[in-house]
Structure 1
Amino acid sequence: MAGIVDRIKRFAGSPQGRRTMDQVRRAAADPRRRAQAQRLLGRLRTPRR
């Protein structure tokens, strides 16, 4: 499991990772995107019958 965490850390520190983080931050700041994400999470968290 430590290998995955190390790979994520390396990606986050790379230029591509920083660009991706900026895109995610901008999307999270958009109220429409935030509502869309909340709806998706709500559907995923709802127990199935």
Structure 2
Amino acid sequence: MSALVQRISRFLRSPQGQKIVDRGRREMAKPETQRKLKQLASRLSTRR
């Protein structure tokens, strides 16, 4: 399992990985995305 974690870590440090991380941060900063995630979390928590 640690080999997989190492591969993911290497990818995230690469230029392509950094591009994906930056895009994710920008998306998470949007209020619309945060609202959708809160709705999803509340739906998932009420199912249990």
Same fold (TM over 0.5): yes
Which is further off, 38-47 or 24-33?
A: 38-47
Residue correspondence of structure 1 range 29-48 to structure 2 within 5 A: 29-46=29-46, 47=48
Unaligned runs of 5+ residues in structure 2 are none
Q: What CA distance in whole angstroms lies between the structure 2 residues aligned with 1:7 and 1:22?
A: 19
Change over 3 Å in CA distance of 1:10–1:37 after alignment to 2 = same
Change over 3 Å in CA distance of 1:8–1:42 after alignment to 2 = farther
User: Percent identity between the aligned chains?
Assistant: 40
Runs of 4+ with deviation above 6 angstroms? none
Unaligned runs of 5+ residues in structure 1 are none
| Structure with the larger helix share | 2
Code of the aligned partner of 2:25:
R
CA RMSD after TM alignment: 1.3
2:16 match: 16
2:7 match: 7
